[in-house]
Amino acid sequence: MNSDTALAKEDDPESISGQKAYIEYSKNVHAHSPAVQRLLDLSEDYVPGAERAFIQKGKPAVWCSGYNWEPAFLYSLGITPVSYGEMGRYSTREDMLVAEDFYQFPVETCSMVKCTVGQWHKRRNKGTINRILGSSSNCEPFNLAWEVMREQGYDVFNNEVIYRGPTVTGERLEQLIMFTVGQMKDAAFWLTGSREIDEGRLKTEIARKNRLLGKLKAVLELRRSHPFYMKTLAVILTLNVGLNNYFGKPEDYEEAVDELLGELRAAKVSERDLRDVIPLVWAGGTGQEFGVYESIDLAGGALLGLRSVPFRFYREDVPPLESLARWVYDNSSAGAGVYARNVLESEVERLGAKGVILYGYIGCSFASIDREMWRRYFHEKGLPCLNLEGSFQTGSPSGQVLTRVRAFVEMLAAGRARPAVKIPPARSA
């Protein structure tokens, strides 16, 4: 059995090697929860399943960021959104070298971009998904990636930058919204040959998104009384990924979420868990160093809040394309680092969090600046923060990273410099 599929020894989870093995291990850890196991299955099969459906059944699919307005929009067109960010769990150092050596990406370029380019390179002319819905708002290295892949035969559509200054309201905001609606219609034409949108289907998708936002808010609230019911990896995958794109299977994802809600409502509250838990807030993307998540669990931490999970509902009292555009501009603004910090602070206060873990990818200079600003801000307020920079590709995190994570959580558990926070019981969900 190779290292990528070998499971850890029952008493030695740190012997896990490979992302697939981490997910299989997590299924064993969640033997008490069929719902969590089902969610992990959906996550594991997200990219392979979408590619199989495309190749074997002709099911339309598009590579995209997999969040913001794209999933609801694409599902309404009968197209599966496939998050290129999820390709990181299949990437290796060799994929990064393809980006550096073959495409001449600078070594210091973000590891996420290089992994994605390397994965697309492997798929050239293989009969799999060949359309890429890019976004100029991501970052300049990704803007370069879209152009490079276009030259390699991929069919690429790149949206214009979505940018709203902190004081932009009124007529100027309405102009931006209408501009973005036009961009969506252009994307529809690229995908279907028509700029017309089936508003009924899009309304259905927006209603689905709002319904799931409500259900996952209820899950987060219930986890305050059951902090260890879901371990960190399952939480990250279910909310950071699944809530955005449903792992390519909307109906299956919602059924699993409903099952999880039922389990949490029926679960017995453990006073010991409430006494011992170290509540944490996560600020960052979905890194592929799954050992970081395992280290949090082993040290007694519980990830109860996430900055990147969307909190705003989509409006259902306006035309559906306008609803998507308004949601984007309500959540993406100039000075986003400050706004994101406000969300973090709100989560810390709501949960009585003991600390914040700030996670970003090696080579992403923009995000590293935000993380350092947040770290200093919370440090001045007396809240401990751990600022981590990890790799996007597969592979075990360095021993130094794991040591820092475990030491941070254990410090919070042992020191308890501030009075212990009593986590309020969950409200009726």
Q: What does the pLDDT read at residue 424?
A: 47
Q: Which pLDDT band holds residue 71 (cuts at 50, 70, 90)?
A: very high
Q: Which of 139-148, 243-252, 393-402, 415-424 has the lowest mean pLDDT?
A: 415-424
Q: Above pLDDT 70, what percent of the chain?
A: 85
Res. 414: pLDDT tops 80: no
Radius of gyration of the chain (CA): 21
CA 351: distance to chain centroid? 21
C-beta of residue 299 within 8 angstroms of C-beta of residue 410: yes
Name the band, by pLDDT with cuts 50, 70 and 90, for residue 14: low
How far, in Å, CA of 261 to CA of 269, rounded?
15
pLDDT band at 7 (very low <50, low <70, confident <90, very high): very low
Question: Both ends of the chain: CA-CA distance in Å?
Answer: 44
CA angle 2-5-10, nearest 5°?
105
**pTM, entire model:** 0.88
pLDDT of residue 406: 84
The whole-angstrom separation of Cα 128 and Cα 49 is: 12
Q: Give the C-alpha separation, 115 to 152, whole Å.
A: 16
Largest separation between any pair of C-alpha atoms in the chain: 62
Nearest to 27 by CA among 255, 234, 222: 234
Least confident span in 8-17, 51-60, 247-256, 390-399 = 8-17
- Asked if 157 and 190 touch (Cβ cutoff 8 Å), the reply is yes
**Integer Cα distance of 193 and 187 in angstroms:** 9
The yes-or-no verdict on residue 9 having pLDDT over 50 is no
* pLDDT band, very low/low/confident/very high, at 427 (cuts 50, 70, 90): very low
Sole residue written with tokens 């130094």: 400
Quickly tell me which residue has 């309404």 as its tokens.
76
